[in-house]
Amino acid sequence: MKKHGILNSAISKVLADLGHTDYIVIADAGLPIPQGVLKIDLALKAGTPSFQEVVDAIADDMVIEKVGIASEIHGANVEAATYISEKFSEIDRLEVSHEELKRLTGQAKAVIRTGEVTPYANCILYSGVFF
């Protein structure tokens, strides 16, 4: 049994398998997940687990080089936009349209679905290296 970090075996495996510039998506409960992309569904009920809880846990266990968000987040979900900005203040950020973010999910190593039910609470976490 693991002592530290992510206990979810599917998430732990995905993180261990990431290479430089590979990426995962942390998604709200409504983001469509393309056929063929690994979906790790953590949603228990509306709001649980939250987008922030999942991002915090992943960020503690992953080398993140860049974060991608939908530009629409700024007008539709100020709380999530502020959280991402503060959480990743030292990391490069990429802003794309929500349609482009949905398109990018097709190349993700995994989409981790949260129970979040606020608009545009999605992000792409690009893997870096620790050396």
Among 130, 3, 124, smallest CA distance to 55 is for 124
- Is the sign of the CA dihedral 91, 96, 102, 103 positive or negative? negative
How confident is the model at residue 120, as a pLDDT?
98
Q: Would you list which residues are annotated within the binding site?
A: 28, 98, 120-122
The predicted-structure confidence for 87-118, as pLDDT tens digits, reads as follows 999 999 999 999 999 999 999 999 999 999 99
Q: Would you list which residues are annotated within the binding site for substrate?
A: 28, 98, 120-122
How confident is the model at residue 52, as a pLDDT?
98
pLDDT interval class at 2 (50, 70, 90): confident
Catalytic residue numbers, as ranges:
20
Among 47, 69, 64, smallest CA distance to 114 is for 47
How confident is the model at residue 3, as a pLDDT?
87
Region 9-127: CATH code? 3.40.1650.10
Listed by start position, the domains of the chain span: 9-127
pTM of structure: 0.97
Residue 97 is given by DSSP the state: -
How confident is the model at residue 112, as a pLDDT?
99
Residue 78 has pLDDT above 90, yes or no: yes
Three-class secondary structure of residue 94 per DSSP: strand
Among 125, 127, 123, smallest CA distance to 69 is for 123
How confident is the model at residue 87, as a pLDDT?
98
How confident is the model at residue 29, as a pLDDT?
98
Q: Report the percentage of the chain scoring pLDDT > 90.
A: 97
How confident is the model at residue 68, as a pLDDT?
98
How confident is the model at residue 59, as a pLDDT?
98
pLDDT interval class at 1 (50, 70, 90): confident
